[in-house]
Amino acid sequence: MTASASASGDRDAGAQEAGYEPDPNRWRALWVTLVAGFMSLLDVTIVAVALPTVQRDLHASPAQVQWVVSGYALTFALALVTAGRLGDALDRRRIFLLSLSGFVIFSAACGAAPDIGLLVAARLAQGLAAGFMAPQNSALIQQLFRGAERGRAFGLFGSTVGISSAAGPIAGGAILALASGPQGWRWIFYVNVPIGILAVLLGRRLLPRTATRGRGQVDVPGVLLLGLGVLALMYPLVQAESGGLRRLWWLFPAGAVILAVFVRWQHRLVARGTQPLLDPRLFTSVRGYAVGAGIGTLYFIGFSGIWLVFALFYQRGLGFSPLRSGLAVTPFALGTASAAVIAGRLVERLGRVLTVCGLAGVIAGLGGTALLLRFAPLPVAPWVAAPALFLGGIGGGFVVSPNITMTLRDVPVSMAGAAGGALQTGQRLGAALGTAALPGLFYLVLGRSHDYRGALVTALVAGLVGMLASLALALFDWHRDRPRGRPHRKCPEEVANDPVHSRQT
């Protein structure tokens, strides 16, 4: 890149910033999107504590009831990138409100389902609506905020992601305790309805419209290829409880081939000057995007699976109620909540070092928790482990929020939805792998030794392997970004307008 081209890119970016006019409703609009996002992510884990009750009440098999959780995660992940691109091309406000309305309707349908078949169908539709809603959250933050305010907004967003995942067992246990009886599980879904209706009404008033400027084209072949590829990778994972990994292993290489074809197709569209579903230059030309997506995916492999393992250990191993089991992991959620907001204020100044320190804190906290739960006397083990869990939660707050900010901060606003969708797709794939592998490992060790503590420690150590890989990637990025005169890297819009690039393509 020449100096004149670099200067031109900097002037273009500066002009874009100079033309930015803060929306007076931006902070209130943010809270609407955060509440909706919290509901959609909470529903990934909140249902897990109610599965035994659902199975008894609806006379379902273990394989059928597992689809109440895994089906939601599957359709959630399938929708993300396409939904983000539609928000970029059409109107983020419209997509957000339509998908939030659908989420409310399908939540009510889940609560009213008379049998397991209709409950699974409603959960699939609910996950699809959540997947269409999720990428609009991060895209609206990029649209509404700039500079230090964007870091604070992403801090709140990261806090929402971390807390919602950790708080699912707590919220589910509390609802089951309050709504006792065989039908009490239905309130896990009904609780979304009044909150969602209020969010729709406030969103209609506060959310800004997106100026599409003729970006209405959608890459239909890309949608089909990406959907098939993600489906092939996730389906064996969501079927893991019923032997899906053994029966459907061939879908992993098939999915990899389909995704390779998808990438080739996206490159061809870029060469033609046509708008792709997911611009490959996000990963090659946007600073920090590829590394940040990798860090998030690896982190969520360990982060998402440990909550099911804790629930199995406390409820089946120690005989805790769902509420008591949820309260035992509350220190992690409290640590995440307190750290994520602070991290959002520090990320612009400290950068990737926050993620490095956060990952080290999570690893230390969960490693200490594993040791304490293994060797402390059982009656007091959960409470002795609480400080270590709190430390892990603080670390988690310094991982999710800064990583989202650093991954998306240089993405052009016109591509914010697709970029956010791709980032969350990686997180969902990681979460699916973690929730399949860690409980499976827990049951494997338990079946051989009948030792709940040994099974817990083995599964936690396996989760820490994913977090250690994430830490290695974060250390690489931190070392690369340390002050040594890093050259300016162009965003995709600059690349597309570069005469050198145009001649090459």
Residues 125 and 271 placed together within one structural domain of the fold: no
Our CA dihedral for 254, 257, 259, 265, rounded to 10 degrees, sits at -140
Within 10 angstroms of residue 317's Cβ, the number of other Cβ atoms is 17
Our CA dihedral for 187, 188, 189, 195, rounded to 10 degrees, sits at 90
| pLDDT of amino acid 125 | 94
Region of poorest pLDDT, from 302-316, 342-356, 489-503: 489-503
Q: Which is more confidently placed, 283 or 212?
A: 283
Residues 63 and 99 placed together within one structural domain of the fold: yes
Instruction: Give the domain-ending residue among 276, 303, 323.
Output: 276
| pLDDT of amino acid 10 | 39
Average pLDDT along the chain: 81
Q: What is the pTM of this model?
A: 0.77
Is pLDDT at 212 greater than 60 in this prediction? no
Q: Looking at residues 448-469, what average pLDDT do you find? A: 89
Residues 152 and 94 placed together within one structural domain of the fold: yes
- Is residue 469 within 8 A of residue 433, CB to CB? The reply is no
| pLDDT of amino acid 215 | 53
* Token pair belonging to 315: 């409820």
| pLDDT of amino acid 490 | 45
User: Would residue 76 count as lying in a domain?
Assistant: yes
User: Would residue 349 count as lying in a domain?
Assistant: yes
Residues 339 and 432 placed together within one structural domain of the fold: yes
- Is residue 301 within 8 A of residue 473, CB to CB? The reply is no
Instruction: Give the domain-ending residue among 276, 295, 319.
Output: 276
- H or E segment and range at residue 294: helix 289-312
* Distance from the Cα of residue 344 to its chain's centroid: 17
- Assign 214 a pLDDT band (cuts: 50, 70, 90): very low
- Assign 357 a pLDDT band (cuts: 50, 70, 90): very high
Sign (positive or negative) of CA dihedral 391, 395, 398, 400? negative
Residues 382 and 270 placed together within one structural domain of the fold: no
Within 10 angstroms of residue 61's Cβ, the number of other Cβ atoms is 10
Region of poorest pLDDT, from 172-176, 216-220, 494-498: 494-498
| pLDDT of amino acid 211 | 60
Q: State the Cα–Cα distance between residues 338 and 267, nearest whole angstrom.
A: 42
| pLDDT of amino acid 20 | 67
Q: Which is more confidently placed, 240 or 120?
A: 120
Is pLDDT at 182 greater than 90 in this prediction? no
Is pLDDT at 7 greater than 50 in this prediction? no
User: Would residue 3 count as lying in a domain?
Assistant: no
Residues 305 and 406 placed together within one structural domain of the fold: yes
Report percent pLDDT > 70 for the chain.
88
| 179 Ramachandran zone, left/alpha/beta (phi>0; psi -120 to 50) | beta
User: Would residue 38 count as lying in a domain?
Assistant: yes
Is pLDDT at 12 greater than 50 in this prediction? no
Q: State the Cα–Cα distance between residues 500 and 492, nearest whole angstrom.
A: 14
Q: State the Cα–Cα distance between residues 446 and 275, nearest whole angstrom.
A: 51
Domain that holds residue 236: 219-276
Q: Looking at residues 118-139, what average pLDDT do you find? A: 90
| pLDDT of amino acid 486 | 46
Residues 124 and 147 placed together within one structural domain of the fold: yes
DSSP letter, residue 91:
-
| pLDDT of amino acid 411 | 81
Is pLDDT at 161 greater than 80 in this prediction? no
For 106-170, give the DSSP string.
Answer: HHHHHHH-SSHHHHHHHHHHHHHHHHHHHHHHHHHHHHH--HHHHHHHHHHHHHHHHHHHHHHHH
Q: Which residues contact 33 (CB under 8 A, 6 or more apart)?
A: 96, 136, 137, 140, 141, 203, 207
Q: Which is more confidently placed, 457 or 168?
A: 457
| pLDDT of amino acid 382 | 84
User: Would residue 430 count as lying in a domain?
Assistant: yes
Residues 143 and 87 placed together within one structural domain of the fold: yes
